[in-house]
Chain A
C-alpha cells in the first residue's frame, strides 16, 4: 500500500486491489497504531485528551509522584463541568469540596501547561459539547476522556471512548494507550424516523432492543438512511448513548453534514489544510464487503417516542405503551430486576406511561443540551405554561449555546413559560452540583442515565427526548408529542 502525507499530518492510504475491505473502525485503529508488540495489546496514539475536574486530580498527582510531565499539552484540553453550580457565574461556589476539586484542576493545568476553559471562560461548557463546538473534535481522530460519554465524539467518525483515572494518567504521560482490539457491531437503521421521533428515541429504542450490555466489548458503527438523515446534534445524541448499550464507542462515518458542521470552527484546519483534511476524511467509511462481528437491524419507522420506566436505560417503553407486567420477563433475574426497579420508581405494572405524573423536568446534559435540542423544546413550550405542580429547568450545554439560544430568543420562551434558565454544566444529569432531586421526586430528564439515585438519592428519573420533556413540563405528565398542539 502506498502513502501520501496529508496536511493535517494523517497518512492518506492509497487503496490497492490487495487491500482487504476494512470497517471505519479498523481504518481509524490502523492509522493510530504506534507499536504492536508481540503478545501484548496494541499501543494506540491518542490525538485528543479531554480532561475535567472529577476524574483527573489523582492522575495529575500520579504524574507528580513519578516526576513525569504532560507529554502533549496541546493535545490535552480541560474544562470544568461536572460539579460546578449552574447559578449565575461570579457567585461563590458554596460546596467547599467541589471548590477544592475545581481549584485542583486550575492548579494542575497551570503547572503542566494544559489549556483550560475555566468557569469564567466564554467557551466553558460540558466537555463533550465544547470539543465539537470549538472544532477541537474532528473526524478520524482518537479521543479519550475520563468520562464514559466520550462516545459522543464518535458522531464525527472519531474513535472516542471513556477511560478511568489510571488511564488518564497514562495518556497524560505518554499520549498513548495500550488497547485490546474491540469487536465491531453494525447497527443498520433502515427507513425514516417519524415526526416527533428523535435521535434520543432512536438511541433508547436500540438500547431497549439489545440491552444495556448488548454491545459490551464492541465498537458500534451506526449506518442507514435514518442515521444519514440526522444532523450533527442528533448524531452526537445517538453516539453519546452508545455506552448505555455497553459499547466501547459509537461511530458514524463522516459526510457532507459533518464537514459543513466543522468547517470554519475555531480550531478546525483552515484553507489548504482544510481541503486536505476533507480529502482524507472522505476515505473514512466502511468499505463494501467489510466484515462486522455483529449486525443489528432497526426499522426506524417502527420507533415511537420512548420513556424509560425503570432504573437502567434498557427499561424503556413507547409513550403509547404501559409499564410492563413482571410476568412478561422470561428470565428470573430480569423479573427480579424489574420488580426492584418498579418498587424504586413507585410504579405499578400495567399502568399507562401517559398516566405517570412528573414533579421535575430537566432539559440538558451531554446527551441533549445542544442548540437544536433547545429549539425543539422551545417549539413545544412556546405560548404555554409549565404545569403548576412541576419545577422545570433548562441547562444549556455550553456558554456558546446559551448565547446562541438567547440571540434567538429561546430563553424568553422558556422563562415566559416558567422554566428556569441556567448556566452551562452537567448539572442534574448526575447531581454532583446543587441541582438534585429530592427523595421520591419524579423527573422527566433528557439525560442519559436513570440509575437509582443518579439525580439525587431516592429521585426517580425517566429518560426522554427534549420535546417529550418539554411536553411533560406543560402537561404535568408524559404525553405523546405526536399529538401536541403547537402554539404558533
Chain B
C-alpha cells in the first residue's frame, strides 16, 4: 500500500449528504474482476447521461476543478454497499483524500486499506471548506497526517482525529496481512482449541 504522509492538492466540493457507494460506482461496473481501471466509472450516473454524454454542470466536470485530489462531501459519505470498488474508483480517478463530517464504517475501512485518507471535520468546518472551494479559484488544501491538520493558504486551519493504529498503518503503508501473520502462533493455538465441526468437515463431499 502507498504510504500517506502529507498531501497538497485542489479541493472539489461535492456538497451532498449521504452519498452512497451505489452513486460512487454504479453496479454495472462491478462485474470486472480486476482491481484497476475503475476511475472512469466514478459517479458515472451523475457524470454521464443515459446516452453517455458528459453532464456539463456536474462539479467534477467544471474545468476549474480539473485534477482535484481532495473531495469534500457531506455527512455519512460512503454509506450502503460494502463494495471496495468505490474506493478503487476514487483512488484511480486521482483522489488521495476525502473530507466529510462522517463516513460509513465499511467505506472508511476500505479506504484505509488503499491509502485513501478519510478526514472527519465538523459540519461547520466542512461548510467553510465547501464555500471556499466554490469561491476561490484553484483552491488548495494541505492535509498532513503526521500533525493531523488540514489548512489552506487563506487562513483556514483545522485539526482532525484518527485512531493511532490506523494512522500508523497509513503513514508506513503497512501490509496488514503480514502484520496479522506475526501472530501465527496465537492463531494456530486458537484453532487447536476451536476445531471445525464434524458436520462442516463433510461440506466438500456434498
Would you call A188 an interface residue if the criterion is a C-beta within 8 Å of the partner chain's C-beta atoms? no
Q: Choose among B26, B32, B80, B106 the residue that contacts A164 (Cβ–Cβ < 8 A).
A: B106
Specify the chain A residue showing the minimal Cβ separation from B75: A213
Within B156-198, the residues touching A (CB, 8 Å) are 163-166, 176-177, 179-181, 183, 186-187, 190-191, 193-198
Within B18-55, the residues touching A (CB, 8 Å) are 18, 20, 22-23, 26-28, 30-35, 45, 50
Q: How many whole Å from B17's CB to the nearest CB in chain A?
A: 5
Q: Is B83's beta carbon under 8 Å from chain A?
A: yes
Residues in B neighbouring A282, C-beta threshold 8 A: none
Q: How many angstroms between the C-alpha atoms of A123 and B195 in the bound complex?
A: 25
Number of B residues, CB within 8 Å of A: 63
Contact of A178 among B22, B179, B190 (CB under 8 A): B179
Asked, given contacts A213-B76, A273-B197, whether A170 binds B180 with beta carbons under 8 Å apart, the answer is yes
Chain B 57-74: CB-based contact to A (< 8 A → 1; otherwise 0): 000000000000000001
B interface footprint on A429-465 (CB within 8 Å = 1, 0 otherwise):
0111000000100000000010111100110000000
A173 at the interface (CB under 8 A from B): yes
Query: Do B82 and A174 have beta carbons less than 8 Å apart?
Result: no
Place the interface of chain A in its size category.
Answer: 35 or more
For residue B110, CB closer than 8 A to chain A, the reply is yes
Main secondary structure of the interface of A (DSSP, over half): loop
Name A55's contact: one of B75, B83, B166, B180 (CB within 8 Å).
B83
**What 0/1 readout, one digit per residue, does chain A (305-327) give for beta carbons within 8 Å of chain B?**
00000001000000000000000
B146 close to chain A: CB less than 8 A:
no
Query: Quick one: CB contact mask for A1-35 with B, threshold 8 Å, 1 for yes?
Result: 00001001111000000000000000000000011
Inter-chain contact A246/B190, CB cutoff 8 Å: no
On B, residues with C-beta under 8 Å from A are: 16-18, 20, 22-23, 26-28, 30-35, 45, 50, 74-76, 79-85, 87, 102, 104-106, 109-110, 113-114, 163-166, 176-177, 179-181, 183, 186-187, 190-191, 193-204, 206
18 extra A-B contacts, CB within 8 A, seeds A75-B200, A213-B104, A312-B18: A10-B194, A43-B180, A43-B183, A45-B191, A61-B33, A74-B201, A75-B196, A113-B204, A136-B200, A162-B82, A164-B82, A166-B84, A213-B75, A267-B200, A430-B22, A430-B81, A449-B20, A454-B22
**A residues within 8 Å of B by Cβ?**
5, 8-11, 34-35, 37, 39-41, 43, 45, 47, 54-55, 57-58, 61, 66, 68, 72-75, 77, 82-83, 95, 97-98, 100-101, 104, 113, 115, 123, 135-136, 146-148, 162-167, 169-170, 173-178, 180, 182, 212-213, 216-217, 243, 246, 248, 266-270, 273, 312, 333-334, 337, 340, 430-432, 439, 449, 451-454, 457-458
